[in-house]
Amino acid sequence: MYDTLKSVFGFHSFRPNQETIIRNILEKKDVFAVMSTGGGKSLCYQLPAKIMEGTTVVISPLISLMKDQVDAALENGIAAAFMNSSLNQQEMGAVNQELHNRELELLYIAPERFAMPSFLEELKSIPLSLFAVDEAHCISEWGHDFRPDYLSLSTLTKHFPNVPVAAFTATATPKVQDDIIDKIRLRSPFIVRASFNRHNLFYQVKTKREVGTQILEFLAEQRDKPGIIYRTTRDSVVKLSEFLTNNGVKALPYHAGLDGDVRRQNQEAFSKDKVNVIVATVAFGMGIDKSNVRFVIHADLPKNIEGYYQETGRAGRDGELASCLLFFARQDIPKIKYFIDQIPDDAERSIVMHKLNQMVKYASHYVCRRRQLLSYFGEDYTAGNCGSCDVCVDTVEKVDATIDAQIVMSAIMRTDQRFGINHIVDIVIGANTSRIRELNHDGIKTYGAGRDKDKNHWRFIVDELLAQEVIVQDGGQYPVLNLTAKGFNVLYGRETITALKREEVKKRGKALKGLQFEDYDEALFERLRLLRMKYAEEQQVPPYIIFSDKALHEMSTFYPVTATDMKKINGVGDVKLERYGNDFISAIKNYLDENPGISVSNREPSYYTVHKVLTKTVGGTVETTYKLFKQGLSIDEIAKSRNLTISTISGHIEALIRDGREIEMDRLLDAAKREEIEKLFEKLNTVNTSPIVEHFRGRVSYDEAKFVRAFMLRQAQT
């Protein structure tokens, strides 16, 4: 088992629960395992498939994912194939022949194929080692993604009484778990309920306002990293994708209304790192095995926590840091309720509504996000501070919000509780809109009572009042605000109300230190990434199937220059070492020859210790940018000469300005524009670049705003 782990998969140790699951499978026992995405479920059946006699059959609904999984298995030297509707008759015949010739160690099929009587009889004539049921929650009506086709699996143990069955899912409450075991008829299964805690994910919820601009601000901090943005409707997918593209982000749309070929091409472009961002409905993601997704954004409120957890789980599957950002606005709630109201069955409608309420609670309550998620799945989180969600890395202070609450509720009452959030906020700030003038709402006593604070503050107050049930939203698609009994008590001074004052602090990097290679050699990583891309294009597979980002980060940290050294890198098994080892070793050797300031010495058990001379300390790659900038090269020219992205070089320049280096600001933007930006930063009393960029409506880029901010911060320190 350990030999196979190292020689085939290139790993030095098992992740939690993998070893016990595999041992039980090898002993031909049934298994039920709840393991979070990124927890290594596929290894639990792929490793036994390599050891056991016969073919392991994997039943999965993820047709678009099968090819990637098979390609990854083949890269590791496992004889694998898939059968689904994407194959033509000739290709299907070839796989059938391999199966009958006993040549396959691993076969992926969809549940619909298992339900075919003719295929069932074929399987009975083949020596089988294991049935692995992936996404097993799909068999449960209580799960968030029930699929009737999965019900055919209830006959699995009856037809194959001597073949062990292992069922896997990333999302199952205890109730769903019991239902799955009952439906598949697992026989006294070995049960693993692994922790749902994804330590490497940072959870964050932000109030949704101008969501397109907010997303642009977030992406500007991501430095061209790959990520998924989820939206609820096809129209919003297309509009956001176009908006991002028009603002310089490499983004593509994905939804069920697109032509099948276009969907496949867009997904492939994202998988193969041709574009950085995919904007998609929730149909996307079930079909992708991309390990280096660095962020998942929900631009709209998800319908339930199970779906949200599974979708965020597509980030950071390689174990490195990733961000999960949810934009929350209460206007999203009635849109979802509208569709819930169309459900004819009362019991089903009640279940779906209950799940929506739990999702709203997660988004609106200022409690550790991680603790809320784990609690939903029946897991206690005892740590006082998770250190990796927005709640736990913020400083929180409660303030008396009674007067502000009374201003908002007075506006609601004076307009007869007949208007929604936006109109009420406009009244409070004294906005000069045509609707306010037409309704004579500029003449009520509360008009302009809150003009001393911005619109964002009053939206925050409204959200707090809704979360604390001081006011409620009533109505269908266009809800209005009403006071509750508690609201009347606050309005008339019989009760007070407090709100949470949030002041974000930059603790995230410190809290999550040690979970990734933060000081890897960026220039070497880029060189190895291009070499990986060359192999991926030659073989028509996503780059992460050749080597994961994590493997390249290790190579760019430890500089392996022999086959023995390269085998110490996680993810480098015998087959990959034979296929790619020499070329990657040569690339690293050439890099070291070009950069004689790096010296490497071995040390066990950490594999390597890298000793860098003073000129190649952490940030050495920034020094290279500085030298080129001082030679007169522009940011574009530096990016091309170093084979790095423009955003990476811009980040270097920003860091150099903050560090007090001699950076001629006039080369970055003209003096008049810089002065305008400085004045606006001072006027708004902010260090956030988003309102700066919004104000100038395209005249100022995020990079320009960051350069000026860095200059001002440096000036303030001297």
Contact 571, 76 (CB under 8 A): no
Q: How many CB atoms lie within 10 A of CB 574?
A: 16
User: Of 314, 316, 326, 336, nearest to 372 (Cα)?
Assistant: 326
Q: Which CATH architecture has domain 522-615?
A: Orthogonal Bundle (1.10)
Q: Is 396-504 a domain of CATH 3.90.550.10?
A: no
Q: Which residue has the tokens 């996503």?
A: 542
State how beta strands 31-34 and 190-193 pair. parallel
Q: How many CB atoms lie within 10 A of CB 568?
A: 19
Q: State how far the alpha carbon of 443 is from the alpha carbons of 421, 446, 449, in Å.
A: 19, 8, 12
What pLDDT, on the 0 to 100 scale, is given for residue 396? 53
Sorted by sequence, the CB contacts under 8 Å of residue 453 that are 6+ apart come out as 404, 429
What pLDDT, on the 0 to 100 scale, is given for residue 142? 66
What pLDDT, on the 0 to 100 scale, is given for residue 144? 59
Residue type, 514: G
pTM of the entire structure?
Answer: 0.60
Count CA atoms closer than 13 A to 610's CA, side-chain side: 20
Domains 201-379 and 620-717 share a fold: no
pLDDT, tens digit, 9 for 90 and up, residues 354-399: 888 889 888 887 778 998 999 888 888 877 778 888 888 764 556 7
Please report, for the chain, the start and end positions of each structural domain, with discontinuous segments joined by +: 2-193, 201-379, 396-504, 522-615, 620-717
Tokens encoding 562:
């022999």
Q: Is 2-193 a domain of CATH 3.40.50.300?
A: yes
If one looks up domain 201-379 in CATH, what number appears? Answer: 3.40.50.300
Contact 301, 363 (CB under 8 A): yes
Q: CA–CA separation, 217 vs 164, rounded Å?
A: 50
CA 16 to chain centre: 22
Q: State how far the alpha carbon of 371 is from the alpha carbons of 272, 300, 387, 391, 659, in Å.
A: 35, 22, 11, 11, 38
* Residues lower than pLDDT 70 in the chain: 38-39, 64, 141-145, 283-289, 394-398, 475-477, 500-519, 597, 599-620, 685-688, 690, 716-718
Three-state DSSP class for residue 687: coil
Q: How many CB atoms lie within 10 A of CB 40?
A: 22
Contact 139, 59 (CB under 8 A): no
- CATH classification for the domain delimited by 620-717, as one of 3.40.50.12780, 1.10.10.1390, 3.30.360.10, 3.30.930.10: 1.10.10.1390
Q: State how far the alpha carbon of 645 is from the alpha carbons of 224, 533, 556, 638, in Å.
A: 8, 15, 18, 9
What pLDDT, on the 0 to 100 scale, is given for residue 202? 93
Tokens encoding 232:
């609820």
Q: CA–CA separation, 196 vs 374, rounded Å?
A: 6
Q: CA–CA separation, 467 vs 267, rounded Å?
A: 38
Query: Longest Cα pair distance anywhere in the chain, in angstroms?
Result: 85
What pLDDT, on the 0 to 100 scale, is given for residue 609? 33
What pLDDT, on the 0 to 100 scale, is given for residue 227? 94
What pLDDT, on the 0 to 100 scale, is given for residue 608? 35
Contact 324, 312 (CB under 8 A): yes
Strand order, beta sheet including 128-133? 80-83, 106-109, 55-59, 128-133, 165-169, 31-34, 190-193
Residue type, 357: N
User: Of 316, 327, 322, 219, nearest to 275 (Cα)?
Assistant: 219
Q: Is the peptide bond before 605 cis (omega within 30 degrees of 0)?
A: yes
Residue 125 CB-density burial (10 A; 0-12 exposed, 13-18 middle, 19+ buried): exposed
